[in-house]
Chain A
Amino acid sequence: MSTLSTILSSDFLLRDALIGSVLVGLICPLVGVYFILRRMIFLGVALPQVSAAGIAFTFMVYRLFVGPHPEAAVGERLLGLIGSGVFTTAATLGLALMEGSSRERIEARIGATYALAAAVTILFLAKDPHGDAEIVGLLKGDILATTSASLSTMSWVFGGVLLVLIACQRQLLLVSFDRDLAIVFGRRVLVWDIILYLLIGAVISLGVMSAGPLATFGFLVIPPLTVRLITGRMLSFMLGSAALGGATAFGGFFCAYRYDLPLAPAEVALASALLLAVGTLTGLRRALQRRQAV
């Protein structure tokens, strides 16, 4: 109880980190539902890795051609955000243009993208003559280093993403659910795909910079997978996923603080435990229903 009251107090030292973590937990699942609905879960792994490659690339280029990167946290984060944003946007636009190809071809390309991004991230770091733990820490996602400035950036970007998602929800659903009908209705499906992927790119870039690839992937995919097991309505699927993501982020932060654990693994482990519990209960309920029907 004392840990909880410490965390919730207004003068909590890591208050910005807690808010940032919950924001990532709230927003990632809102775009993650489209990974689930479009059956592109692997994209949730690949894009954070592409984002990480972008961060590593920016640092390597800066060190090689300019010199040591800015030591101040804000400058370093801005540099990383630029690299992350450019790489993720390029990858998502490439994916948007691939829509309409066969599912197998898309999955093969996503797999190849993931492998390439993971490899070049390591190569970029290896080639960075001044590579140090600080950069590695940034790649892993250092939410504890969240400042009021980065929190403000996060709030603006995530707020904008939320507004666009709400405003375009019907069209994004139509294009995702029945692409042919959207075309018959005269919708420019490529434009809507690009809008969706840009939103995904923005969330992932900032998510990876703030919380790291592991937490970002976890929040993109695990809360929607959990909520999908228990809901049959679109609105509750989206809101439930966001709420579960936010609650898991808070719970993970609590566990990490209370038991001195690394934050991202704690959050993902908690989200996975919930998925396992809900999956088990849902499976048992279905088995019981089948037995009663017999």
Chain B
Amino acid sequence: MSAPLLELSDVSLGYRGVAVLSGVSLRIEAGEFVALVGPNGAGKTTLLRGMLGLVPVLAGRVAWGFDRSTSPPGYVPQRDSLDPIFPLTAYEVVLMGTYAALPPLRPIGARRKRLASQCLEQVGLDGLARRPYWELSGGQKQRVLIARALAAEPQILFLDEPTAGVDREAEAAIIALIAAQNRQHGMTVALVSHHLGRIQSEVRSVIVVDDGQVEKLSAADLAARRGDELSPWRRGVDVV
């Protein structure tokens, strides 16, 4: 078996010393498309943020299969976590993604500016580059944040509910965009979602988070365990 891109070994995650999730062990392989699903408040976002180092690891070990300092992961937060008071254009938001590998005092340079433009083009929003970010629709904002994550040139892309609060059409476009990154560019993707049904055809595996337990299922396991066997995990999870 090849070395995983990310491996959690008996990890406990929590806040102020109190564990929200305990004993989590799982691996994410290169090129995988994995969805983190489960009911509201189960700890999906905590798990994703724990993988990224945004929630303290209280016990266990999170190991990366690559050097995070030179190639940080791409991260798409929930778009409502960003404050509309910042006067930024769509392009300026995407450009921020190129800061990943930019030493603090080094100028941005033409290559990174080109990269930001290309990423914006990749998500189909190059025509809106100069528009204020806050004037964009929910779906457009989400695509800008995906472009920003791509501008970091990551090996793995983490997305926290990328389709929350957008209409069906925008949701389909966002899922297609993420799936294309995985299929065409081989990018590893891990995303939090409430609606497994809408992404099930794209994902290769699912991490189910419920009642403090975390279980990783492959697409084959998922198909085999449909019906009553999945019932403990099904609350709030739209398994088709």
Using a CB–CB cutoff of 8 Å, the interface residues on chain A facing chain B are 36-37, 39, 167-168, 170-171, 173-174, 176-178, 180-181, 183-187, 228, 231-234, 236-237
Residue in A185, A233, A237 whose CB lies within 8 Å of B100: A185
CB-based closest 7 A-B pairs: A232-B132, A184-B75, A237-B87, A185-B100, A185-B72, A232-B87, A171-B104
B73 proximal to A (CB < 8 A): yes
Docked Cα-Cα span, A154 to B202, in Å, equals 61
Docked Cα-Cα span, A176 to B83, in Å, equals 10
Docked Cα-Cα span, A168 to B49, in Å, equals 27
Subset of 18 A-B contacts with CB under 8 Å: A36-B85, A37-B83, A167-B105, A170-B104, A174-B99, A180-B49, A184-B72, A184-B73, A185-B72, A228-B87, A231-B87, A232-B88, A233-B87, A233-B88, A233-B89, A234-B86, A234-B92, A237-B87
Q: Which residue on chain B has the smallest CB distance to residue A187?
A: B104
Residue in B75, B83, B100 whose CB lies within 8 Å of A177: B83
Q: Which residues of B contact A184 (CB under 8 A)?
A: 52-54, 72-73, 75
Residue in A39, A185, A187 whose CB lies within 8 Å of B83: A39
Contact A171 B99 (CB under 8 A): yes
Q: Which residues of A contact B14 (CB under 8 A)?
A: none
Docked Cα-Cα span, A206 to B101, in Å, equals 36
Q: Which residue on chain A has the smallest CB distance to residue B154?
A: A184
Contact A232 B89 (CB under 8 A): yes
Given contacts A176-B86, A185-B152, 6 further A-B contacts (CB under 8 A): A168-B104, A174-B99, A185-B99, A185-B100, A186-B69, A237-B87
Count contacts on B: residues with CB < 8 A to the other chain: 29
Q: A39-B83, A185-B72, A186-B68 are in contact. Are A180 and B96 (CB under 8 A)?
A: no
Interface residues of B in 72-86 (CB under 8 A from A): 72-73, 75, 77, 81-83, 85-86
Residue in B69, B77, B89, B132 whose CB lies within 8 Å of A181: B77
Q: Which residues of A contact B73 (CB under 8 A)?
A: 184
Residue in B69, B75, B87 whose CB lies within 8 Å of A234: B87
Q: A177-B86, A228-B85, A231-B87 are in contact. Are A170 and B108 (CB under 8 A)?
A: yes
Q: Which residue on chain A has the smallest CB distance to residue B134?
A: A232
B102 proximal to A (CB < 8 A): yes
Docked Cα-Cα span, A176 to B69, in Å, equals 21
Docked Cα-Cα span, A39 to B53, in Å, equals 26
**Min C-beta distance of A162 to chain B, whole Å:** 15
Interface residues of B in 117-155 (CB under 8 A from A): 132, 135, 152
Q: Which residues of B contact A185 (CB under 8 A)?
A: 72, 99-100, 152
Contact B86 A181 (CB under 8 A): no
Task: Determine which residue in B68, B72, B87, B132 has the highest number of CB atoms from chain A within 10 A of its CB, and name it.
Answer: B87
Q: A170-B108, A186-B69 are in contact. Are A178 and B96 (CB under 8 A)?
A: yes
**Min C-beta distance of A27 to chain B, whole Å:** 20
Q: Which residues of B contact A176 (CB under 8 A)?
A: 86
Contact A181 B96 (CB under 8 A): yes
Q: Which residues of B contact A237 (CB under 8 A)?
A: 87
Docked Cα-Cα span, A178 to B108, in Å, equals 18
**Min C-beta distance of A73 to chain B, whole Å:** 38
Q: A170-B102, A174-B99 are in contact. Are A37 and B86 (CB under 8 A)?
A: yes
